[in-house]
């Protein structure tokens, strides 16, 4: 049975950020993720906006760590080699009631320490966004707001943590937790582990994990949100993240430019009982279209290439705030629960808070002299110049074979992902690391090629290749002539 100082349960952006932070210290750390890959829960089901911090109520835990986390992203992007853009945010006002609400958010932002916030007039916002609705009269402008690809950030955190000694273990759903005199014993479907401390970052299932340790300090319920992806060549593309005035439970339906050149529209907000309910629903899709057209009336819905949904983890009866604390009933068990929006922005600061909670709980935390803050640069063929591409192909002809035409992804990049630090072993794992299948055809022309590459590199029959989780096999057998279906 492997023993660790700390075991983190959950491999979303919160869990991986904690792993990255703890890898800076002389600690033995493992991260257990129930799924087949990192970042496949709430992390992959959102728009990637790094909210600057004007929204949380001053004095709340969200307010205390949102700005700190958001400010860390530009440096983290340099160190960990993930994409980031700085489009800023317009929170749009259409009437006098909106003006009052925006003044309220401006006051929140100033109290929370957000830099350079201002309320700007119609002429200024329309000069920057000429396709914006003429009904928009003013906006709260947050110029420091950035956008990232959330699962790319989670993968970057995890890979750097692994390079610095953290064990990142996927396919390890925890089924039992036993408190011992010196810590805990955790049982998964594959193995047993012992540790001195547990950090529960299990997203929508954080309360279920806590119950395994005999803890019933909160109840969680997911908030479902639909999102739309628009093709890169859509007209009237927003250059700025644009939200309407926020409601009590959601920031509203926004138009979001992405780091890869697409536009996202999202998201709806509906409380659900089912923690696995990530289906799209027609009313939600229509609500997205209606909400987006309020912002950009000429939005071309023919350019929608995909819809998806996510579930935000909400701790009930907790003022819509994060729940980050050591358990009051089981010492050494640390909660990082209810990490809904602004969870992406807050993740680096949450990690530092967890570090401090572990220190206060008695864990000896000493800096690691050989910590390497830099993540190895990955090869992105489409971003190279012609001479660099030619040189790469000479060294490895696999980089000369284009697999995904929409995103110009090569066989060499896919093989790199399969054999990476955190290996991609599913079709969606390849998609998240390389963008193969994320273009206009959504895998229509490249999916079968990627399946063949996965089959070859993993030494598995094609019918055993998964879309994502266990049971999501893409092929089910052969037809006449032996061709797989």
CATH assignment at residue 89: 3.30.9.10
pLDDT band at 360 (very low <50, low <70, confident <90, very high): very high
Percent of the chain with pLDDT over 70: 98
276 and 414 share one domain: no
131 and 265 share one domain: yes
On the question of pLDDT at 15 being above 90, the answer is yes
Tokens of 404: 């995904």
Question: For position 481, what pLDDT does the model report?
Answer: 57
Residue 331 lies in a domain: no
Tell me the pLDDT tens digit for each residue of 283-313: 999 999 999 999 999 999 999 999 999 999 9
138 and 235 share one domain: yes
292 and 387 share one domain: no
Which tops the pLDDT comparison, 392 or 277?
392
pLDDT band at 8 (very low <50, low <70, confident <90, very high): very high
Question: For position 233, what pLDDT does the model report?
Answer: 93
Question: For position 247, what pLDDT does the model report?
Answer: 63
Residue 359 lies in a domain: no
On the question of pLDDT at 478 being above 80, the answer is no
On the question of pLDDT at 484 being above 70, the answer is no
Boundary of a domain, candidates 271, 294, 313: 313
Burial class (CB in 10 A: 0-12, 13-18, 19+), 461: exposed
Question: For position 248, what pLDDT does the model report?
Answer: 59
- Domain with 404, as residue range(s), is 381-482
Boundary of a domain, candidates 313, 332, 362: 313
308 and 386 share one domain: no
113 and 232 share one domain: yes
Residue 388 lies in a domain: yes
pTM over 0.85: yes
From residue 18, alpha-carbon distances to 31, 156, 297, 318, 322 in Å are: 9, 12, 41, 23, 15
* Residue in the structure block whose two tokens are 């927003």: 238
Residue 245 lies in a domain: yes
On the question of pLDDT at 476 being above 90, the answer is no
Q: Work out whether strand 409-410 and strand 402-404 pair parallel, antiparallel, or are unpaired.
A: antiparallel
Q: What is the mean pLDDT of residues 315-321?
A: 94
On the question of pLDDT at 480 being above 90, the answer is no
Residue 54 lies in a domain: no
Question: For position 371, what pLDDT does the model report?
Answer: 98
Cα separation of 164 and 381, whole Å?
A: 27
Q: What is the mean pLDDT of residues 330-344?
A: 97
Catalytic site residue from 20, 51, 205, 224? 51
Q: Structurally, how many domains does the chain consist of? A: 2
304 and 429 share one domain: no
Residue 337 lies in a domain: no
Cα separation of 485 and 478, whole Å?
A: 6
On the question of pLDDT at 270 being above 80, the answer is yes
Q: How long a stretch of residues is the chain?
A: 485
Tell me the pLDDT tens digit for each residue of 395-416: 999 999 999 999 999 999 999 9
pLDDT band at 245 (very low <50, low <70, confident <90, very high): confident
Q: Are the C-beta atoms of residues 391 and 416 closer than 8 Å to each other?
A: no
Residue 318 a catalytic site member: no
Boundary of a domain, candidates 291, 313, 335: 313
124 and 226 share one domain: yes
280 and 420 share one domain: no
Question: For position 281, what pLDDT does the model report?
Answer: 85
Residue 455 lies in a domain: yes
Element (DSSP H or E) covering residue 80: helix 61-80
What integer best gives the mean pLDDT of the chain?
95
238 and 140 share one domain: yes
On the question of pLDDT at 361 being above 80, the answer is yes
Q: What is the mean pLDDT of residues 453-461?
A: 96
Residue 191 lies in a domain: no
389 and 308 share one domain: no
Helix and strand tally (H, E) in the chain? 12, 22
389 and 291 share one domain: no
Cα separation of 355 and 335, whole Å?
A: 12
pLDDT band at 477 (very low <50, low <70, confident <90, very high): confident
pLDDT band at 485 (very low <50, low <70, confident <90, very high): very low
Domain holding 463: CATH number?
1.10.10.1100
On the question of pLDDT at 137 being above 60, the answer is yes
């Amino acid at each position: 049975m492997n023993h660790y100082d700390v075991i983190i349960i959950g491999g979303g952006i919160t869990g991986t950020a904690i792993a990255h932070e703890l890898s800076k210290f002389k600690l033995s750390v493992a991260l257990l993720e129930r799924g087949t890959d990192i970042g496949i829960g709430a992390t992959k089901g959102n728009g990637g906006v790094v909210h600057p911090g004007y929204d949380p109520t001053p004095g709340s835990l969200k307010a205390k760590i949102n700005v700190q986390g958001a400010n860390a992203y530009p440096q983290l992007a340099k160190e960990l080699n993930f994409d980031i853009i700085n489009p800023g945010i317009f929170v749009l006002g259409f009437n006098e009631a909106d003006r009052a609400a925006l003044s309220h958010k401006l006051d929140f932002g100033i109290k929370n320490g957000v830099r350079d916030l201002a309320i700007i007039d119609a002429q200024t916002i329309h000069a920057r966004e000429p396709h914006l609705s003429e009904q928009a009269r003013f906006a709260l402008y947050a110029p420091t707001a950035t956008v990232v690809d959330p699962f790319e950030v989670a993968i970057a955190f995890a890979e750097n943590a692994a390079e610095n000694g953290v064990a990142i273990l996927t396919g390890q759903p925890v089924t039992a937790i036993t408190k011992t005199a010196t810590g805990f014993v955790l049982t998964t479907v594959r193995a047993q582990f012992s540790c001195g401390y547990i950090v529960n970052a299990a997203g929508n299932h954080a309360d279920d994990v806590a119950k395994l340790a005999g803890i019933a300090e909160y109840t969680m319920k997911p908030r479902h949100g639909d999102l739309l992806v628009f093709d890169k060549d859509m007209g009237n593309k927003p250059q700025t993240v644009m939200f309407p005035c926020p409601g009590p439970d959601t920031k509203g339906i926004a138009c979001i430019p992405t780091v890869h050149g697409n536009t996202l529209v999202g998201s709806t907000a509906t409380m659900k009982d089912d923690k696995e309910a990530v289906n799209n629903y027609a009313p939600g899709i229509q609500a997205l279209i209606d909400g987006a057209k309020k912002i950009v009336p000429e939005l071309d819905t023919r350019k929608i290439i995909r819809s998806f949904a996510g579930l935000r983890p909400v701790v009930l009866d907790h003022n819509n705030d994060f729940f980050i604390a050591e358990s009051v009933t089981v010492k050494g068990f640390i909660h990082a629960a209810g990490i809904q929006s602004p969870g992406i922005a807050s993740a680096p600061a949450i990690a530092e808070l967890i570090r401090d909670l572990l220190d206060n709980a008695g864990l000896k935390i000493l800096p690691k002299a050989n910590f390497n803050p830099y993540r190895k640069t990955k090869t992105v063929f489409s971003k190279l110049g012609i001479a660099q591409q030619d040189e790469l192909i000479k060294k490895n002809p696999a980089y000369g074979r284009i697999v995904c035409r929409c995103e110009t992804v090569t066989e060499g990049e896919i093989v790199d992902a399969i054999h990476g630090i955190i290996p991609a072993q599913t079709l969606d794992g390849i998609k998240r690391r390389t963008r193969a299948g994320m273009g206009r055809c959504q895998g229509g022309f490249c999916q079968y090629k990627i399946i063949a590459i996965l089959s070859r590199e993993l030494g598995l029959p094609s019918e055993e290749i998964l879309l994502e989780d266990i049971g999501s096999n893409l092929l089910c057998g052969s037809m006449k002539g032996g061709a797989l279906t």
